[in-house]
Amino acid sequence: MGAAHRLRAGSRLALENALRRALERHELTLHYQQKVNLRTGQIVGAEALVRWLHPEWGLVRPARFIPLAEETGLIVSIGEWVLREACRQSRAWMDAGLQPGVVSVNLSVRQFRQEGLVRTVSRILEETRLDPAQLEMELTESMVMGNVDQAIAVLQGLKQLGVTLSVDDFGTGYSSLSYLKDLPIDTLKIDRSFVRDIGSGDEADDGVLAQAIISLGHALHLKVIAEGVETDAQMRFLRRHACDEVQGFFYGEPLPPEHHGKLLEKAKRKVRK
């Protein structure tokens, strides 16, 4: 009986109970997907992505447990663990003489609306001794658009700590361009669905939305990063249109910390040469 089948056979309640225990039992882990500067080709950071390694079910994909964590509110404690672990790991790499760059962590809707988010982030940065400039928090358009004034207040609080802010999946929601210029953000992230369009065969429409987002981002003095880059053609198109950074399988899949650490070591040796 395959892991996926066993998981389906287990009720939603079993999954929820197992998820509640996953944190206590240290079953959660982070994988890191490198972010690359398109101009220099150097690793400039990584996105931290949570994985759940269950003793019986094996690796449970985020798509299977994150929606449940959101519904039950478990996402708040999981999100806090992710934030602390990403900061701790980043600091450990730096203490080992490596340059991890900026580590990105995804914020959930519940976390974003939780009172005391700014205090929690501040406390974790102090505990882990990480320079706030080395932490990026990614939020989605819909989180911001829910209650714009409240969102701006939270974002300003985070900016005052010195962390970088990124709007993920940009262009897939219903954000109002009039608000975009008021948000204290640093980065726009082009959604993978727009990147997938590049090289899809229709020359006229080829990557037109990705191109538009890059232009818009730069006009607003924001950095633009594309995710889901899988082909050489996509990378070349994005470089030609001055996209700042990229991530995706073309450069590498998300890796366990020890493997990402080896990439950073390799990068360091290259710089030395």
* Residue 7 reports pLDDT greater than 90: no
Q: Which two tokens stand for residue 211?
A: 């191109």
Q: Where residue 200 sits, what CATH number does that domain have?
A: 3.20.20.450
Q: What is the pLDDT of residues 41-73, one digit of tens each?
A: 999 999 999 999 999 989 988 998 999 999 999
Task: Decide if 7 is inside a domain.
Answer: no
Task: Decide if 194 is inside a domain.
Answer: yes
Task: Decide if 237 is inside a domain.
Answer: yes
Domain count, the chain: 1
Name 43's Cβ contacts closer than 8 Å, sequence gap at least 6. Answer: 34, 35, 36, 101, 263, 264, 267
Residue found under tokens 């079993």? 14
What range defines the domain where residue 120 resides?
Answer: 15-272
Task: Decide if 91 is inside a domain.
Answer: yes
Q: What is the pLDDT of residues 133-188, one digit of tens each?
A: 999 999 988 888 778 888 999 999 999 999 999 998 877 766 667 778 888 999 99
Q: Which two tokens stand for residue 60?
A: 């449970």
Helix, strand and coil percent figures for the chain, each rounded to 5: 50, 20, 30
Q: Which two tokens stand for residue 136?
A: 């990026």
Q: Which two tokens stand for residue 138?
A: 């990614």
Residue 201 is predicted with a pLDDT of 63
Determine the average pLDDT of the residues in 105-131: 95
Q: What percentage of residues in the chain have a pLDDT greater than 90? A: 71
* Residue 101 reports pLDDT greater than 70: yes
Task: Decide if 6 is inside a domain.
Answer: no
* DSSP class of 107: P
Report the C-alpha gap between 95 and 15 in whole angstroms. Answer: 37
Report the C-alpha gap between 10 and 58 in whole angstroms. Answer: 14
Report the C-alpha gap between 54 and 112 in whole angstroms. Answer: 27
CB atoms near residue 65 (< 10 Å): 24
Task: Decide if 192 is inside a domain.
Answer: yes
Q: 233-267 burial by CB neighbour count: b if 16+ within 10 A, else e?
A: ebbebbeebebbbbbbeebbebbebeebbebbeeb
Task: Decide if 1 is inside a domain.
Answer: no
Task: Decide if 251 is inside a domain.
Answer: yes
Which of 121-125, 144-148, 189-193, 211-215 is the least confident region?
A: 144-148
